[in-house]
């Protein structure tokens, strides 16, 4: 089985050649020393994973032809991750782990205490793609641009419940037994937590469920992983 996996944003079907991006071609030829006839695995987030053969390859471009499907499409459960961006490396970590752990959508939110006023959405999306390539996933979660928390909540569909990791509830870790399935989102706050105004609004909304993540106040990146693991083990596809 070919070990190299690539995300290709084109339809995939047996016998239909697909062009490689310049960066992918350079990686395959210059870094991985691949040559025409070698095989790689490719996926596009919609058509499953395919075993594909390199037709032509060079530093400036190339193409592959899917031969046979090697894995079916496997979409994650309907779980979104909403988080306030923190330092660059830790924000990258959150996006990577969210993609690996099965988030269907990633939504950076700007709060009163968010350190970053802007993000590089394209760079974070690239991290999500790389995480999917490395973990064997066939789905890449879209990463939204930074949205103010107030605007996000104003337009929220209350059919999707929000699991709020509330640091003020630090204590015994909670289980999610008794909660219903269906569409959910996880909300992780910034370093320093939510402001008093934000906390008051979050507690007033009927579609929000506050939850404790244990007796210690977790760093934001740790909290994102812990909350996703808790949800996946109780309501997601880890059961």
Task: Please give the residue that has the higher pLDDT: either 239 or 50.
Answer: 50
Question: pLDDT exceeding 70 applies to what percent of the chain?
Answer: 98
Helices (H), the chain: 22-26, 88-101, 121-135, 149-154, 196-204, 220-235
Q: How many CA atoms lie within 13 A of 5 on its CB side?
A: 20
Q: Which fold has domain 5-71?
A: Ribosomal Protein L25; Chain P (2.40.240)
- Is 196's pLDDT higher than 70? yes
Q: What's the mean pLDDT when you consider all of the chain?
A: 93
pLDDT number for residue 169: 86
Looking at the DSSP bridge assignments, the partners of residue 7 are 43
pTM, 2 dp: 0.93
Identify which has the larger pLDDT, 110 or 182: 110
Q: Which residue matches tokens 């991750």?
A: 81
pLDDT(171) > 90: no
* Alpha carbon distances (Å) from 220 to 4, 63, 194: 32, 41, 12
CATH architecture assignment, domain 79-235: 3-Layer(aba) Sandwich (3.40)
Give the domain ranges of the chain: 5-71, 79-235
């Amino acid at each position: 089985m070919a070990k190299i996996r690539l995300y290709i944003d084109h339809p995939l079907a047996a016998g239909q050649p697909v062009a490689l991006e310049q960066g992918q071609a350079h990686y395959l030829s210059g870094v991985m020393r691949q040559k025409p006839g070698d095989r790689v695995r490719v996926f596009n987030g919609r058509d499953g994973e395919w075993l594909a053969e390199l037709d032509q390859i060079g530093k400036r471009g190339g193409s592959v032809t899917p031969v046979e499907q090697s894995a079916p499409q496997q979409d994650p459960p309907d779980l979104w991750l909403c988080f306030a961006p923190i330092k660059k490396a830790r924000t990258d970590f959150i996006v990577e782990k969210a993609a690996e752990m099965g988030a269907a959508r990633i939504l950076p939110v700007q709060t009163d205490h968010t350190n970053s006023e802007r993000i590089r959405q394209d760079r974070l999306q690239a991290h999500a793609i790389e995480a999917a390539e490395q973990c064997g996933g066939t789905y890449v979660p879209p990463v939204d641009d930074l949205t103010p928390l107030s605007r996000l909540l104003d337009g929220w569909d209350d059919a999707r419940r929000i699991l709020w990791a509330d640091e003020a509830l630090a204590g015994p870790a909670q289980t999610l037994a008794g909660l219903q399935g269906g569409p959910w989102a996880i909300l992780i706050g910034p370093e320093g937590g939510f402001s008093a105004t934000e906390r008051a609004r979050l507690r007033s909304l009927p579609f929000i469920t506050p939850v404790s993540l244990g007796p210690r106040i977790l760093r934001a990146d740790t909290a994102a992983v812990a909350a996703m693991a808790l949800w996946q083990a109780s309501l997601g596809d880890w059961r």
